[in-house]
Amino acid sequence: MENFSKIAEIIADFRTITTPLFLKKNNRPIDISEGYVLQKIANTHLMNSGLGQIKAHKIGCTSEVMQNFLKINSPCAGDIFEKTIFYNSVEIPHKGFTKVGVECELAVEIAKDFYPSSNNIFHGDLEKFIAGFLPAIEIVDDRYLNYLELGVPTLIADNFFNSGAVIGDVIYDWKRLNFDRVIGKTIINNKIVGKGRASFIMESPLNAFKWYLDMCNKNKKKINKGDVILLGSIVETKWLNKNDIVSIEIEEFNSLNIYVN
């Protein structure tokens, strides 16, 4: 691969236009580790381009089915910029994306700064980092000519399809939530197009959160207090058309909306 900074700048430039990303094979990261290195550099370019600071993060590919499809053995992570984060509802321009979609998700708000270390993360460690849980819509964009051919490391470098998020109100007394019973629905134009349980996220959203902190330790990534982490999809991706009206409803949480104009 050529100079990391040069390739990262190319990835960042493609993110700001609606032309599908393509990189020659010799310009692609060769493995997932290189993908995360390139992601960090590309995200610096994107912050400087006007997207603002990184205020949220995402976990993608949390299902075994998708991991097998992409021939990987773990989820993938990306970052979300403050100018692409919206609260409760948003209007988005259909022409502003290559192929825009939504995912019904649960998210966690971070209670205190997380500093990477060599220490193992155990489930008992998670509670001190959890301020609460909240509903989220991940806005995704299939901005690739052929994402299978492009490869997972490059998708990671480009924040794994992310294009923004809509987030709702935080439930701070989160221990009362039974993730086996919390059901989420994606509704498009008043029709339910998908339904799932919060436990579909790696059997529990807490497992996804642990995976994310382990990933941060491995990649020496700090997470700030108040940041939000989208933990994965309750309902699979639904692609949108112009004039679609999207609602996400997750039991116990407030509903979220997107209007495509």
Tell me the helices (H) and strands (E) count for the chain, helix number first. Answer: 7, 12
Q: What's 207's domain CATH number?
A: 3.90.850.10
Residue 189 lies in a domain: no
Residue 261 lies in a domain: no
pLDDT digits (tens, 9 = 90+) for 209-239: 999 999 999 999 999 999 999 999 999 999 9
Residue 63 lies in a domain: yes
Residue 113 has pLDDT above 90, yes or no: yes
Number of structural domains in the chain: 1
Residue 180 lies in a domain: no
Give the DSSP per-residue string, 6-52: HHHHHHHHHHTSSSPB---GGGS-SSHHHHHHHHHHHHHHHIIIII-
Residue 92 lies in a domain: no
Of the listed ranges 8-17, 135-144, 207-216, 243-252, the one predicted with least confidence: 8-17
pLDDT digits (tens, 9 = 90+) for 43-65: 999 999 999 999 999 999 998 86
Residue 93 lies in a domain: no
Q: Supply 222's token pair.
A: 């700090």
Residue 49 lies in a domain: yes
Cα separation, 106 vs 112, in Å, equals 19
Question: Which domain covers residue 163, as residue numbers?
Answer: 4-86+103-175+200-234
| CB-facing half-sphere around the CA of 25: CA atoms within 13 A | 2
pLDDT of residue 1: 54
Residue 185 lies in a domain: no
Cα separation, 81 vs 153, in Å, equals 20
Q: List the one residue out of 165, 166, 147, 146 whose CA is nearest residue 156.
A: 147
Residue 83 Cα to chain centre, angstroms:
15
Q: Supply 219's token pair.
A: 């990649």
